[in-house]
Chain A
């Protein structure tokens, strides 16, 4: 009898340990993107890149390439980086920096191997900075805030976008999230009067389909916030006046949607002031 109790007690202890391990494993890895090309929750336009010992104010904009020696997407993108850095060509307006998790000597050797030449190379804890995947390209303003960012290996369309953004910076024409042109809030009455006066305006409701189906404005268009990056460039015109709405108290999803739209070249974007 005692022996069976002992066995049962051991089984109980083992079961608790195994169950704990399975649960921990599940919750630790649930939201991770295997190739790191989705947007990490901490990094988005408007957020400051917390890189130690970097004085962002020295340059109007800084282009940061977050790379890794072992990342095959980084090596495959080397040709694009060469082309991109040629555009910058030691401009005082735009500073090019590469950051690696690996030691500096290994990073510099890697850059030499792939023939990518930048103004500055730094070692930084990428994961701690919110950079869960490489390669990631970031455009940083003189206050250290991210104005645009691109994840993973880019398609030819996205590469053209990056180059046109860099050219815009060099020409001093860039529109950034938080600037006067894109930081507008707009009230419902103002929206209605603009529509009545015939102005072309799109109310972009960024809630989930279920939330949208429950109730929505008659003249609005629904693109859930996680689909904006793919669908907006295909379904909205860059020249339209777009008002983002989420019917949420702090307008967080509307503001995130606005920042994604601005990052994709939409110039007239405002957030609907929720009543």
Chain B
């Protein structure tokens, strides 16, 4: 009787642990590695770059300054997430998001060409400039020109 009771308990315990294992493994595998790299490194591995367009309404309102986007690109080099950390206004924020979403990057592997493919996170900086003559343009930081 006692043997049967403990046998049942053990079976239930194993079942609970099995379920916990399945859930935790799925979560752990779901959180794929993201490597953070500098803007210089990010720009070096860019395959396709698209400059944001200066929204005409922002030009009319003399809205200018820096926009900083943080992005994650996936194992295939395609941008999967974009967050604007700083922008002079919401139109510039939208224009920057649209441009950065079109960037593509060289797929990146950990350590060397035999390492596992990884997702990469980094920042991109753009300057929305209006000169004294009222001409508007979007520039990369001068180090990357």
Question: A residues engaging B (CB < 8 A)?
Answer: 1, 4-5, 8-9, 11-12, 15-16, 18-19, 22-23, 25-26, 29-35, 37-39, 151-153, 155, 157-158, 209, 226-227, 229-231, 233-235
Contact = CB atoms under 8 A, between A and B. Distances in A.
Question: Which of A5, A11, A25, A230 is the most central at the interface, judged by chain B CB atoms within 10 Å of its CB?
Answer: A230
B45 interface: yes
Contacts of A4: 11
B125 A35 contact: no
A33 B66 contact: no
A34 B37 CA distance: 8
A91 B25 CA distance: 60
Contacts of B85: 209
29 contacts: A4-B11, A5-B11, A8-B11, A8-B18, A12-B18, A15-B25, A19-B21, A19-B25, A29-B33, A33-B35, A33-B36, A33-B37, A34-B35, A34-B108, A34-B111, A35-B37, A35-B108, A37-B44, A152-B40, A153-B44, A155-B40, A157-B143, A158-B143, A209-B85, A227-B125, A231-B125, A231-B141, A233-B143, A235-B66
Main secondary structure of the interface of B (DSSP, over half): mixed
Main secondary structure of the interface of A (DSSP, over half): helix
A31 B35 CA distance: 6
B125 A1 contact: no
Contact of B142 (A9, A23, A157): A157
A18 B39 CA distance: 35
Interface of B: 7, 10-11, 14-15, 17-18, 21, 24-25, 28-29, 31, 33-41, 44-45, 66, 68, 85-86, 108-111, 118, 120, 123, 125, 127, 141-145
Contacts of A231: 66, 125, 141
A33 B118 CA distance: 11
A22 B25 contact: yes
Contacts of B41: 33-35, 37-38, 152
Nearest to A156: B145
Nearest to B118: A34
B7 A1 contact: yes
Contact of A233 (B14, B24, B141): B141
A25 B10 CA distance: 32
